[in-house]
């Protein structure tokens, strides 16, 4: 049986150790990753947070969107189940060997959301299994601060959310409410505005824009009227958000409409982060104390030749809060999970 650490394959003598296994799951609106790790004390945590990425992983499985607000409850539940079962199977393990599960899932906004997912997951595993369910922002935060939950995290992928953590345990969030409820800084928000700009240019309400030809070409459509049918043919948020690179490229080629959409996205993302900073007083009483701002997601990483959305967001925030320390971790969802499992080791009590 082979496991891997930070991409390197490792051998384990006994993956069916009586200590069992733990599952970590990072569920986003675009993709979901689940890792399976041994829960045995012999390979458990030690050293500083830097050691998180060297935690040995038995297996990793991946799947699509697990945000129930995007794909519906039945599809989200199926994705969560499938990816966990697959990770266990790849590790030659099974549900009865599981000791603890950490699920960091986008769309978790309220205790009733945690309860819903708990009910989906609880029946699959022995009742002694410890289960933690949080918003995926928690895993993203940990990935940028070596496991420490302090500061603010901004996720801007298909969806977007700002999440803040104080050292005393207080938390606050802004945005993360999905496309109907005004997440205009998200990849979906950017792409929906670009599609809207095409409709407006076509029917005489808005300025002409190269987004028209650029997006029609990418979608293989011949007329702006066809954009309406394309948009509603499939309700997946990730499908709309996949147009972000076309918007960035159009802006870089000088299109003013595309440029304005990206500037608006930057403003919206910065506003979300600033709302969290204010509420938690992350910058201290004087507004100048240092704090980390972890930024992850496809929109943050959609920097091309000229446009760098993450950089612009950081600049806008630092105008009001000069102590902000932007961090753009170059880690995968897999590594994010290692960090969050690191953070939660004491709660999970699989460390000795």
Q: Are 162 and 153 in contact (CB under 8 A)?
A: yes
For a copy of itself (CB under 8 A), the number of binding residues is 43
Q: Name residues contacting a copy of itself, limited to 22-61 (CB under 8 A).
A: none
For residues 240 and 299, which CB has a smaller minimum distance to a copy of itself in the complex?
A: 240
Residue 231 binding a copy of itself, by CB under 8 A: yes
Residue 204 binding a copy of itself, by CB under 8 A: yes
Residue 148 binding a copy of itself, by CB under 8 A: no
Alpha-carbon Rg for the chain in angstroms:
21
Return the structure tokens found at 34: 């689940």
- The one among 47, 181, 330, 352 contacting a copy of itself by CB under 8 A: 181
Q: Which span (92-100, 143-151, 273-281, 332-340) binds a copy of itself, by CB under 8 A?
A: 273-281
- In the bound complex, what is the minimum distance in angstroms from residue 52's beta carbon to a copy of itself? 30
- In the bound complex, what is the minimum distance in angstroms from residue 70's beta carbon to a copy of itself? 8
Task: Of 274, 280, 275, give the one whose Cα is nearest residue 321.
Answer: 274
- In the bound complex, what is the minimum distance in angstroms from residue 334's beta carbon to a copy of itself? 28
CA within 13 Å, CB half, 343: 25
Residue 175 binding a copy of itself, by CB under 8 A: yes
Task: Of 120, 122, 131, give the one whose Cα is nearest residue 23.
Answer: 131
Contacts with 213 (C-beta within 8 Å, 6 or more apart), sequence order: none
Residue 262 binding a copy of itself, by CB under 8 A: no
Phi, psi of 210 (to 5 degrees): -70, -10
Residue 173 binding a copy of itself, by CB under 8 A: yes
Q: Residue 178 and residue 181: Cα distance in Å, rounded?
A: 6
- In the bound complex, what is the minimum distance in angstroms from residue 120's beta carbon to a copy of itself? 15
Q: How far is CA 196 from CA 31, 40, 178, 205, in A?
A: 26, 54, 17, 10
Q: Interface with a copy of itself by CB under 8 A: which residues?
A: 68-70, 109-110, 112-113, 172-182, 192-193, 195-196, 199-200, 203-205, 223, 225-229, 231-232, 235, 240, 271-272, 275-276, 278-279
């Amino acid at each position: 049986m082979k496991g891997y650490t930070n991409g390197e394959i490792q051998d384990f003598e006994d993956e069916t150790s009586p200590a069992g296994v733990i599952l970590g799951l990072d569920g986003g609106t675009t993709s979901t990753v689940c890792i399976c790790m041994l829960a045995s004390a012999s390979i458990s945590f030690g050293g500083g947070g830097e050691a998180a990425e060297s935690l040995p992983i038995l297996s990793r499985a991946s799947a699509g969107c697990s945000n129930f607000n995007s794909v519906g409850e039945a599809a989200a539940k199926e994705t969560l189940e499938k990816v966990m079962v697959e990770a266990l199977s790849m590790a030659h393990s099974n549900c009865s060997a599981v000791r603890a599960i950490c699920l960091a899932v986008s769309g978790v906004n309220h205790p009733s959301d945690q309860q819903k997912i708990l009910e989906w997951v609880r029946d699959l595993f022995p009742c002694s299994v410890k289960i933690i369910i949080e918003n995926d922002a928690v895993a993203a935060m940990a990935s940028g601060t070596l496991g420490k939950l302090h500061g603010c995290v901004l996720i801007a992928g298909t969806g977007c959310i700002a999440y803040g953590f104080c050292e005393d345990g207080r938390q606050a969030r802004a945005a993360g409410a999905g496309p109907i409820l005004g997440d205009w800084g998200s990849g979906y928000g950017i792409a929906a505005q670009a599609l809207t700009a095409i409709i407006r240019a076509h029917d005489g309400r808005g300025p002409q824009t190269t987004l028209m030809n650029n997006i029609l070409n990418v979608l293989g459509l011949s007329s702006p009227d066809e954009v309406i049918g394309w948009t509603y043919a499939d309700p997946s948020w990730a499908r709309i958000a996949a147009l972000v690179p076309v918007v960035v490229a159009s802006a870089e080629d000088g299109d003013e409409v595309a440029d304005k959409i990206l500037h608006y996205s930057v403003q919206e993302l910065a506003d979300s982060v600033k709302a969290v900073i204010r509420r938690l007083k992350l910058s201290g009483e004087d507004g100048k104390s240092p704090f980390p701002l972890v930024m992850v997601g496809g929109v943050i990483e959609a920097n091309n030749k000229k446009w760098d959305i993450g950089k612009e967001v950081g600049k806008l925030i630092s105008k009001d809060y000069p102590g902000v320390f932007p961090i753009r971790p170059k880690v995968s969802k897999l590594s994010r999970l290692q960090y969050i499992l690191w953070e939660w080791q004491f709660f999970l009590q699989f460390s000795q």
